[in-house]
Structure 1
């Protein structure tokens, strides 16, 4: 009991410290520069920083689940980073599960498909290393881990949104390691200096999926998977951003800490000098 308390107390600082160190090392890398939804230049360094920090914190908190956390966090983060780096190229163009599967039928292996397959494989391997190793439990656990990774990726469309969701989900799970890394990066994310990208959002979701799966049995995993499938299916038809903006409470939470929207600046009116020549 005392050891668990000590590990929990150390996990947050370790996760935050590793996240900050990786962010400092990668922040200025030119290959990681991207433009966010408002046209600001930001760095994708937040993704690998979160993946590394959250994984390190999770390992410190639950050493008995270290292998599962490492596979889920680093595996999901790695394939997410690959998609972040090359996903914008024309040969990888596709949207959603259907788009990536359609491209595969055409003979194109998109970075998005690599990410889907990689996250699924990481989730399956991680679930097999957690308690309750019956086939049904492993399959359900894999679905929860991979589904959570995908859901957090769908949420990462505005500064701070995925990290705030991480706190809402991770706090009742006592996932102090991932939350320590999330807290360390939240100010930079809200200030639009970094973005998580697929690397960070996938890793955070996968690690929270591991934390949930490790605490639940068949029914708990089944309930979570049903919810994740429903939300993922809804995302194909409904914009999460529009739903959040249309709900007063969710909109306030989403806006908390973010930069205010700057009104467009009208171009200066050019004053014409009077002509020296008479009219007519």
Structure 2
């Protein structure tokens, strides 16, 4: 068991670091540069690097072939549609649509936004992944909600350096998601140092894979509780700022700022 965990952790870490180096060497990687909230130039290369590393580690550490296939589906599809939104969503005509309501409004006007493609892609990946894990129809539907909901939740946290990865490590460790934890740990210093950012590609992939790990370890009751919690957290994000809550809570603020590059 310990050897398998270490192998999964190591695969996640090594693939993530290798993918990051490979992407950053590409002459076209300049299109991934963005300006963060401090006005510093960072690269979105961390997103696909984390998606590839976490998916490889999760698949290697899966208990069976169906769960491995679920991890590959959730991680790669969520990462791919997230990356598409990271790149295409930066265009002026795409930025106008904000939130789920904004994307639906654009659809009614005959425009398919990159954000809507991401939402549909993550939802479809969650449903397929949950089906691969198996169970009764209600369990599959609940699992799909957990996977998509976790992808969205981690993405909501990706507003400050290192925040989403730290959350992924806290959630992933008790779930035994060694591949996800390995990939996150390998990229955390670069994220905290404001050299990279996860974007939707990394945050969605990490969240979806955590959702797969949770779904694979729970039955109807566990998935129902998890989905209810995720729904409540998502609804709360529409009313309150997670960043403000963290700033106003001393122990959360200290954890959030731990290791971060000074402003």
Gapped regions of structure 2 (runs ≥ 5) = none
Query: Which of 180-189 and 233-242 deviates more?
Result: 233-242
Deviation at 1:63, TM superposition (A): 5.1
Q: Which position in structure 2 is the counterpart of 1:215?
A: 217
Q: Does the alignment pair 1:108 with 2:111? A: yes
Separation in 1, partners of 2:92, 2:108 = 17
Separation in 1, partners of 2:257, 2:3 = 35
Q: Structure 1 residue runs of 4+, over 3 Å off?
A: none
Gapped regions of structure 1 (runs ≥ 5) = 262-280
Separation in 2, partners of 1:230, 1:63 = 31
- The DSSP-based 3-state class of the residue aligned with 1:42 is strand
Question: Cα RMSD between the aligned structures?
Answer: 0.9
Alignment of 1:30-179 (within 5 A): 30-62=30-62, 64=64, 65-93=67-95, 94-132=97-135, 134-179=136-181
- The DSSP-based 3-state class of the residue aligned with 1:109 is coil
Larger radius of gyration: 1
Separation in 2, partners of 1:68, 1:31 = 31
Deviations 1:200-221 (A, max 9, x none): 0000000000000000000100
Separation in 1, partners of 2:166, 2:212 = 18
Q: Which position in structure 2 is the counterpart of 1:191?
A: 193
Separation in 2, partners of 1:141, 1:211 = 10
Q: Does the alignment pair 1:12 with 2:15? A: no
Separation in 2, partners of 1:97, 1:227 = 19
Equivalent pairs, count = 257
Q: Does the alignment pair 1:21 with 2:21? A: no
TM-score normalised by the chain length of structure 2: 0.96
Deviation at 1:60, TM superposition (A): 0.9
Separation in 2, partners of 1:233, 1:96 = 12
- The DSSP-based 3-state class of the residue aligned with 2:42 is strand
TM-score normalised by the chain length of structure 1: 0.90
